[in-house]
A = this chain, B = another copy of it.
Amino acid sequence: MNAKIYITLKPGVLDPQGKAVKHSLETLGFNEVADVRVGKFIELKLGDIARSEAEKKVKEMCEKLLANTVIESYKIEL
């Protein structure tokens, strides 16, 4: 079973990496870019495990390690 996790900064949290990317894109002439937010995309390969169990486990992994829930939100796709 595979799981995909999308981790993004919560709205309102400053994203210096995104700002830097936006600036670089402008330098390259991409002036239509209004905003850039950079997050993480994590792919997990899980062993033989039921879907409901996987859902619970992956949520726990996000809360405990993968996401900093103070400033980041996460979305799980199984």
A49 contacts across to B, CB distance below 8 A: 32
Q: Given A21-B66, A30-B61, A65-B24, verify A42-B39 contact (CB < 8 Å).
A: yes
What count of chain A residues pass the 8 Å CB interface test? 33
Q: How many copies does the complex hold?
A: 2
Instruction: Flag whether A70 is at the interface (Cβ < 8 A).
Output: no
Inter-subunit contact A34/B45 (CB<8 Å): yes
A61 contacts across to B, CB distance below 8 A: 25, 28, 30, 33
Whole-angstrom distance between the Cβ of A21 and the nearest chain B Cβ:
7
Report which of B38, B60, B65, B66 forms a contact with A42, defined as CB distance below 8 A: B38
A38 contacts across to B, CB distance below 8 A: 40-43
